[in-house]
Amino acid sequence: MTSIDTDLVGGRTVADIRADFPAFDAAPGTAGRVDTAYLDSAATSQRPRRVLDAERDYLEHHLAAVHRGASAAVGESTSLFEGARETVARFVGAGDRELVWAENATDALNIVALGMADASAGLGGREASAFALQPGDEIVVTEAEHHANLIPWQRLAAKTGARLVPVRVDEHGLWLIDAMAEAITERTRVVAFAEVSNVTGYLAPVADVVDLAHRRGALVVLDACQSVPHRPVDFTAVGVDFAAFSGHKMLGPNGIGALFGRAELLDALPPARTGGSTITKVTLESAEFLPSPQRFEAGTQPVSQVVALGEAVRYLDEIGMDAVAAHETAFAERVLDGVAGLPGVRVLGPQAGAPRAGLVSVAVDGVHAHDVGQVLDEQGVVVRVGHHCAQPLHRALGITASTRASSHVYTTSAEADRFVEALAGVRSYFGVVEAVGA
What residues are labeled active site?
389
| Cβ count near 170 (within 10 Å) | 12
Instruction: Convert 40-65 to b/e letters by CB count within 10 Å (16 or more is b).
Output: bbbeebbbbeebeebbebbeeebebe
The DSSP output letter for 138 is E
Residue 191 to residue 165: CA distance in whole angstroms? 9
Residues 6 or more apart whose CB falls under 8 angstroms from that of 55 comprise 253, 304, 305, 307, 308, 311
- Among 406, 416, 402, CA closest to 365: 402
Residue 19 to residue 14: CA distance in whole angstroms? 9
- Among 258, 257, 218, 267, CA closest to 240: 218
Residues 6 or more apart whose CB falls under 8 angstroms from that of 219 comprise 189, 190, 191, 213, 241, 242, 265
The DSSP output letter for 94 is -
Residue 124 to residue 115: CA distance in whole angstroms? 9
